[in-house]
Amino acid sequence: MFAMLERNGTRLAQSLGGAWSVALFYFVYGLVHGGISRLAGPALALDDVKINVVAQSLEPGYHPDNPPLFEWLIFLVQSITGPTLVSFLVVKYALLVGVGVFTFLGMRLVVRDERWAGLGAISLLLLFQIGWNFHQAFTHSTALICALAFFWYALFRVIRQPTILTSIVLGLAAGLGLLSKYSFAFAIVCAVIGLGVTYRHRVRWLSAFKLSLVAVAVSSILVLPHAIWRIGETSAQLQSRFMDADASYWMKIASGLPETLWALVAFFLPIIPVLFLLFGIRWLMPGSGRPVASVGSELATLARNSALAGAVVLFAMVIFLGLDGMQERYAIAFLFPVIFWLIVKVGDGVGRIGTRKLLMANGAVLSAIVAVRLAQVLWPGEPFCSDCRQWIPYEGLGRAVQEAGWEEATLVGFEDHTAGNLRRLFPKARVLSAHIQYYAPPTDDNDRPCIFVWSPQLGPPAPDHVTNAIDPSTSKKIEVPWQRTIRSRQGDEKRVTEWFLGSLDKNPSIARSVCRPN
Average pLDDT, the chain: 84
Torsion of CA 297, 299, 301, 306, to 10 degrees: -160
The CA-CA-CA angle for residues 431, 437, 438, to 5°, reads 100
More confident residue, 243 or 457: 457
What percent of the chain shows pLDDT beyond 70? 87
pLDDT of res. 518: 57
CB neighbour burial string for 7-35, b if at least 16 within 10 angstroms, e if fewer: eeeeeeeebeebbeebbebbbebbebbbe
How far is it, in rounded angstroms, from Cα 191 to Cα 194? 5
Strands 486-488 and 491-493: antiparallel
Confidence of residue 240 (pLDDT cuts 50, 70, 90): very low
More confident residue, 470 or 517: 470
Q: What is the mean pLDDT of residues 59-80?
A: 93
Lowest mean pLDDT among 35-49, 134-148, 229-243, 280-294: 229-243
Lowest mean pLDDT among 10-14, 206-210, 224-228: 10-14
Q: What is the mean pLDDT of residues 149-163?
A: 92
Confidence of residue 385 (pLDDT cuts 50, 70, 90): confident
Q: What is the mean pLDDT of residues 233-237?
A: 48
pLDDT of res. 244: 45
pLDDT at 152 over 80: yes
**Under 8 Å between Cβ of 152 and 99:** no
pLDDT of res. 12: 37
pLDDT at 467 over 90: no
How far is it, in rounded angstroms, from Cα 155 to Cα 413? 45
Query: Which residues does residue 381 pair with via DSSP β-bridges, in sequence order?
Result: 487
More confident residue, 384 or 183: 183
Confidence of residue 2 (pLDDT cuts 50, 70, 90): very low
Confidence of residue 73 (pLDDT cuts 50, 70, 90): very high
pLDDT of res. 205: 57
How far is it, in rounded angstroms, from Cα 248 to Cα 446? 48
Q: How many CA atoms lie within 13 A of 254 on its CB side?
A: 5
pLDDT at 295 over 70: no
Highest mean pLDDT of the ranges 54-68, 239-253, 283-297: 54-68
Helix spans in 232-386 (H)? 235-238, 249-267, 271-279, 297-321, 332-335, 338-350, 354-378
pLDDT digits (tens, 9 = 90+) for 76-119: 999 999 999 999 999 999 999 999 999 999 999 998 778 888 88
pLDDT of res. 5: 35
How far is it, in rounded angstroms, from Cα 310 to Cα 191? 9
pLDDT digits (tens, 9 = 90+) for 167-213: 999 999 999 999 999 999 999 999 999 988 876 655 565 556 677 88
pLDDT of res. 199: 63
pLDDT digits (tens, 9 = 90+) for 318-338: 888 777 777 888 899 999 999
Q: In terms of Cα–Cα distance, which of 270, 266, 261, 271 is closest to 341? A: 271
pLDDT of res. 211: 77
Strands (E), 58-131: none
pLDDT of res. 94: 96
The answer for residues whose C-beta is within 8 angstroms of residue 303's C-beta and 6 or more apart is 110, 152, 194, 337, 338, 339, 340, 341
pLDDT of res. 287: 58
Taking CA atoms, 333 is separated from 45, 167, 177, 179, 506, in Å, by: 25, 21, 10, 13, 51
pLDDT of res. 506: 80
Q: What is the mean pLDDT of residues 222-250?
A: 65
pLDDT digits (tens, 9 = 90+) for 343-382: 888 887 776 667 788 888 889 999 999 999 999 888 888 8
Q: Which helix (H) or strand (E) holds 32?
A: helix 2-39
Confidence of residue 217 (pLDDT cuts 50, 70, 90): very high
pLDDT at 24 over 60: yes
Lowest mean pLDDT among 157-171, 248-262, 303-317: 248-262
DSSP 150-172: HHHHHHHHHHHS--HHHHHHHHH
pTM above 0.85, yes or no: yes
How far is it, in rounded angstroms, from Cα 92 to Cα 98? 10
How far is it, in rounded angstroms, from Cα 46 to Cα 139? 9
How far is it, in rounded angstroms, from Cα 42 to Cα 391? 9
pLDDT at 132 over 50: yes
